[in-house]
């Protein structure tokens, strides 16, 4: 399997390009926040709870027709995010062609793909619920952090993978893990924002953020898509392990933490159905769930030795 150095170099350029474009989108979101603030509305929203939502919609007169500057910045941010996404896809596809394999063979590539999944998920959410747009800045923040880490600490040159990774289960397992991680990242961000808004810690941002319930709903809706994908990914991993390592489950550190994360998300769904936990406990559990996934991706790969540790570092 020869590596095409030219394509690999282009892939790297695209990656940097994608980061730059996402940074631009972040700035536009920031302008969206500072753009126009409407103190009137801030007041009516602080006390927003269930029933008030509708009444606040009725009481506060709709904003004058024509777009505010803030709104324009928000729209530009979304458009720029889409451009970033296109460049990002280019980076990943070129990696695949450069190495002639599925471009998910080391931590740099996983991280990049997780970010891609998160951005795609975000744009899909946005299509269905445009009102959530101000959340974009907070989705892009972890994406940029991860992509920065990916491009620096985790970066691995384009290379073929060891024999244990040469299986179509690689594509199935790792792709679904990354997709699920990307989705759960968006859900985790929504839950964190929910908790901040609820605790009144979001300060001035509260005025711009969607109300707490909308955030909670976003977290739940994305989780119920991400969780079954994650479940599938774990099962696919077990099937692959059965043919690659001689057993379908061996409590390898990576497997163990994947199990822990899975149980945490199961607990999240249970908490949603348990009175007294639905609105207070559940979002915390969702955050813990995503923390577990991040922990699995970084700590387990980089610190704890296990079968999964050949993810392209060192």
Partner 1 sequence: MSSSPPTAPPQAPVAEPEGRPPGPSAPLRVLALLRNTWRGLTSMRTALILLFLLALAALPGALLPQRSLNQQLVDQYFTDYPTLAPILDKGGFFDVFATPWFAAIYLLLMISLIGCLVPRNLDFVRAVRSDPVATPRNLARLPHHATATLDEDADAVLARVRGLLGGNRLRAWQRAERDEAGGVRTVSAEKGRLREAGNLVFHLSLVGLLVGLAVGKLFGYEGQVIVLSGGSQFCNSSILGYDSFRAGLRVDGTQLEPFCVRVDDFTADYLPNGQPESFRAQLGYQTAEDVEAGDTTRWTPYDLQVNHPLRVDGARVYLLGHGYAPRFTVTWPDGQQRTGQIQWRPVDMTTMLSEGATKFERPGVTDPAQRQTSQIAVTGLFAPTSSGGQVITSVYPDLRNPQVAVDVLRGDLGLDDGRGQSIFSVDQTQIDSGALTRVARSNLLPGESVTLDDGTRVRFDDVTPWVSLQVSHDPGQDTVLVFAILLLAGLGTSLAVKRRRFWVRLVPAADGRTEVRLGGLARTDQAGYGEEFDRLRAAILGVADPPSEPSDPHHQPESSGTPGTGDPTGATDRGDT
The least distance separating ligand HEM from the CB of residue 229, rounded to whole angstroms, comes to 13
The least distance separating ligand HEM from the CB of residue 199, rounded to whole angstroms, comes to 26
Identify which of residues 199 and 273 has a Cβ nearer to partner 1 in the complex: 273
Instruction: Pick out residues in 72-101 that bind ligand HEM (CB under 6 A).
Output: none
Identify which of residues 154 and 267 has a Cβ nearer to ligand HEM in the complex: 267
Identify which of residues 199 and 273 has a Cβ nearer to ligand HEM in the complex: 273
Identify which of residues 86 and 239 has a Cβ nearer to partner 1 in the complex: 239
The least distance separating ligand HEM from the CB of residue 266, rounded to whole angstroms, comes to 4
Number of residues located near ligand HEM, criterion CB under 6 A: 4
Instruction: Kindly report the three-state secondary structure assignment for every residue of the chain.
Output: CCCCHHHHHHHHHHHHHHHHHHHHHHHHHHHHHHHCCCHHHHHHHHCCCHHHHHHHHHHCCCCCCCCCHHHHHHHHHHHHHHHHHHHHHHHHHHHHHHHCCCCCCCHHHHHHHHHHHHHHHHHHHHHHCHHHHHHHHHHHHHHHHHHHHHHCCCCCCCCCCCHHHCCHHHHHHHHHHHHHHHHHHHHHHHHHHHHHHHCCCCHHHHHCCCCHHHHHHHHHHHHHHHHHHHHHHHHHHHHHHHHHCCCCCCCCHHHHHHHHHHHHHHHHHHHHCCCCCCCCHHHHHHHHHHHHHHHHHHHHHHCCCCHHHHCCCC
Identify which of residues 38 and 221 has a Cβ nearer to ligand HEM in the complex: 221
Site string for ligand HEM, 245-274 (x = CB under 6 A): ---------------------x--xx--x-
Instruction: Pick out residues in 198-237 that bind ligand HEM (CB under 6 A).
Output: none
Q: Which does 24 bind (CB under 5 to 8 A by kind): partner 1, ligand HEM, none?
A: none
- Residues in the site for ligand HEM, rule: CB under 6 A? 266, 269-270, 273
């Amino acid at each position: 399997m020869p590596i095409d150095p030219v394509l690999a170099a282009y892939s790297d350029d695209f990656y940097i390009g994608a980061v730059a474009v996402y940074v631009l989108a972040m700035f536009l979101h920031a302008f969206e926040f500072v753009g126009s603030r409407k103190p009137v509305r801030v007041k009516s929203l602080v006390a927003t709870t269930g029933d008030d939502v509708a009444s606040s919609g009725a009481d506060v007169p709709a904003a004058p027709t024509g777009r505010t500057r803030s709104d324009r910045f928000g729209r530009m941010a979304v458009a720029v995010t889409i451009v970033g996404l296109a460049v990002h896809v280019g980076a990943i596809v070129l990696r695949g062609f450069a190495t002639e394999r599925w471009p998910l063979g080391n931590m740099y590539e996983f991280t990049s793909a997780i970010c891609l999944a998160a951005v795609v998920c975000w744009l899909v959410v946005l299509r269905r619920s445009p009102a959530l747009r101000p959340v974009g800045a907070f989705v892009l923040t972890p994406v940029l952090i991860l992509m920065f880490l990916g491009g620096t600490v985790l970066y691995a040159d384009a290379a073929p993978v060891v024999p244990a990774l040469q299986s179509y289960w690689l594509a199935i397992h790792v792709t679904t893990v990354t997709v699920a991680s990307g989705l759960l990242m968006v859900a985790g961000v929504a839950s964190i924002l929910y908790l901040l808004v609820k605790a009144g810690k979001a300060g001035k941002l509260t005025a711009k953020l969607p109300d707490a319930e909308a955030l909670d709903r976003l977290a739940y809706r994305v989780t119920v898509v991400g969780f079954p994908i994650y479940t599938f990914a774990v099962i696919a991993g077990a099937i692959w392990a059965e043919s690659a390592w001689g057993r379908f489950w061996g409590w390898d550190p990576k497997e163990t933490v994947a199990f822990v994360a899975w149980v945490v998300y199961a607990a999240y769904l249970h908490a949603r159905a348990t009175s007294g936990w639905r609105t207070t406990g559940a979002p915390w559990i969702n955050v813990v769930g995503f923390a577990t996934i991040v922990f699995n991706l970084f700590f387990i790969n980089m610190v704890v030795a296990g079968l999964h540790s050949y993810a392209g570092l060192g």
